[in-house]
Amino acid sequence: MESLRQRSPFLPLPAGVLAFLAVFAALYLAAAAVAEFRVGRAGKDSAMQRLLAAQGAKADWLVLGASHALPLDYGDVPARLRDETGLTMIVLAEVGAGPLYSDFALRQALKDLQVRNILYVADSFAFQSAEWNERRIGDRKLLRRTPLRVETLATVAGMVATEGVAPGALLDYATAFSKLNPPDRFPRDDWRGADTFDRRFRPSRHATAARIDYLFPEPPSAAAIARYLGVLDGMIARARALGVAVTVARLPVPEAFRAALPAEAAFDAALQERLAALGVPLYDWSAALDLPALYFDTDHLNRDGVARLYEDLLRPVLAPGR
């Protein structure tokens, strides 16, 4: 009777089950390792992949932001800047990246690169919704193309603890789940900026309206703007603590697109007030290039547009006096 009372309530697993679990774990780890190198570290499609490839490099200018900043890379602005001024530029913008995702990339960049200046490209939509911030960090398509690194794992864990990122993002990243299981086996027509960069867009009210609906999945919110301006504050403080200067710019968009943006004036005023208080320079070029022929879609500069932007507006800021 005494022996029954002392017996553990948990029965030991049969040896066959333990062996099966061990084999399963070994196979999963092997598959995850293969996926990491074939998917997570192959190519330079994502900001985090480009960052890994540039590890140890000097960046006189690090560009952060959403897709409006990507044409700088497509249009060879980093190469032109280097050839003409000797300054280096690395573009770590990401499609649909709000300030929280940019801060995610920045934290790793400050460990990997020798950064002197940051150019942050601000878009109002990126400050309006968790879709482009907390949920973007947990986006399976981006996690699939985020190389597994100890520092990045710690950053994701910290953002789960303090920034409202879903715990599933940490679990997915740590286990390589999305690298092993493509999130979209039958992909839709996603944005293909590099492939269409040389085209000229024919203005379309329907296309503009559809684009606005996509970028603003929720009604404009002063609380959301304040929340993500606070994230931008943290980015700026993080950079300045390491002696890195920050500049903010609004890049050009066509007049029809600009006119359709909801609550744009309120965002502009809030951004200007916040940056003025911090002493951060803001260059608003949003209305500088209205000609539709300078865009490859509703709101992204094409090759001719990027050349105009660089020559007339951007280079004097990036390399004054050179």
User: How far apart, in whole angstroms, are the C-alpha atoms of residue 283 and residue 103?
Assistant: 20
> Does residue 188 carry a pLDDT above 70?
no
Token pair for residue 281? 């320079």
In the chain, where are the structural domains located?
A: 16-184+196-318
pLDDT at 7: 54
pLDDT at 205: 95
Mean pLDDT score of the chain: 91
Token pair for residue 269? 């005023």
pLDDT at 236: 98
- Minimum mean pLDDT among 32-36, 154-158, 300-304, 305-309: which range? 32-36
Question: What's the mean pLDDT in 276-302?
Answer: 97
What proportion of the chain, given as a percentage, has pLDDT over 90? 80
- CA-wise closest residue to 286 among 295, 277, 276: 295
Class of domain 16-184+196-318: alpha beta
- CA-wise closest residue to 90 among 108, 67, 68, 113: 113
Is the model more confident about 20 or about 26? Answer: 26
Residue ranges of alpha helices (H) inside 70-203 are: 70-74, 77-85, 99-112, 134-137, 140-144, 150-162, 167-175, 177-180
Q: How does residue 4 score in pLDDT terms, banded at 50, 70 and 90?
A: very low
Residue ranges of alpha helices (H) inside the chain are: 2-6, 15-35, 47-53, 70-74, 77-85, 99-112, 134-137, 140-144, 150-162, 167-175, 177-180, 205-215, 222-241, 255-260, 264-278, 303-309, 315-318
